[in-house]
Amino acid sequence: MIHRGKALFVEEAPIDEWEGVAEELFEPLEKKGQKVYAYVEFPSLQRAEVGFLITEGGPEDSIVDHTDVTTIYEDESIAPLIDFGDALKELEKVRSGLIEDFPFVEIEKEEDYNELLLASLRRAENPYMFWSDEDLLEESLWTEAGVYDLRDRPPSHHASVEDYELEAMEAHADGAVEWLFQGKGQRETVMPLEVLLERQEEAA
């Protein structure tokens, strides 16, 4: 998918037919060189709006019109980050199911990273558990503020917070568009697309 703007993703391939939608409804667009695309937009990390949009041609060209088909709500953020304090507590355990489920933490300062580093390596098996703090800190993989992966020992930099959220949005956008295409021919996708195309027919 093509990332447009902060939280808008557009399917790269245009839609020139849709089961249940009359082919002639696409004709006004074809005459003007306009195209229909599936899109997903994230007003927040717990909500995705899925629908169709029309551009002046390509998926990155100016948007002429759009319509929503559905809104997908999530109980939790699609880009979850474990709380720093919880991460420290979990790293003290021999085995942490929470870290397996939520392995990413945002770290802003190297001092905070060092706390997690020591807790992470103390939790590991030999030889780390007998090393001095000074020796353990030499194993640091600190690079910059951002999202770190606690499954790695020592924790490694995964991405900036912005890139981590974009990764999550893109993955969920792929799933949302797949759902949209699985709904070909069904009323919940046919009607919004028909209304969108009819608006263009009237404008022509």
pLDDT tens-digit map of 180-199? 999 999 999 999 999 999 99
Parent domain of 179: 2-78+163-203
- Mean pLDDT over 87-96 rounds to 80
| 53, 100: one domain | no
The Cα 105–Cα 113 span in angstroms is 10
| 52, 8: one domain | yes
Q: How many structural domains comprise the chain?
A: 2
| 72, 95: one domain | no
Written as six digits, the tokens of 123 are 């939790």
Written as six digits, the tokens of 75 are 């109980």
The Cα 133–Cα 67 span in angstroms is 58
Terminal Cα distance for the chain, rounded: 30
| 167, 143: one domain | no
Task: State the burial class of residue 45 (Cβ atoms within 10 Å of its Cβ: 0-12, 13-18, 19+).
Answer: middle
Could you tell me the pTM of the whole model? 0.89
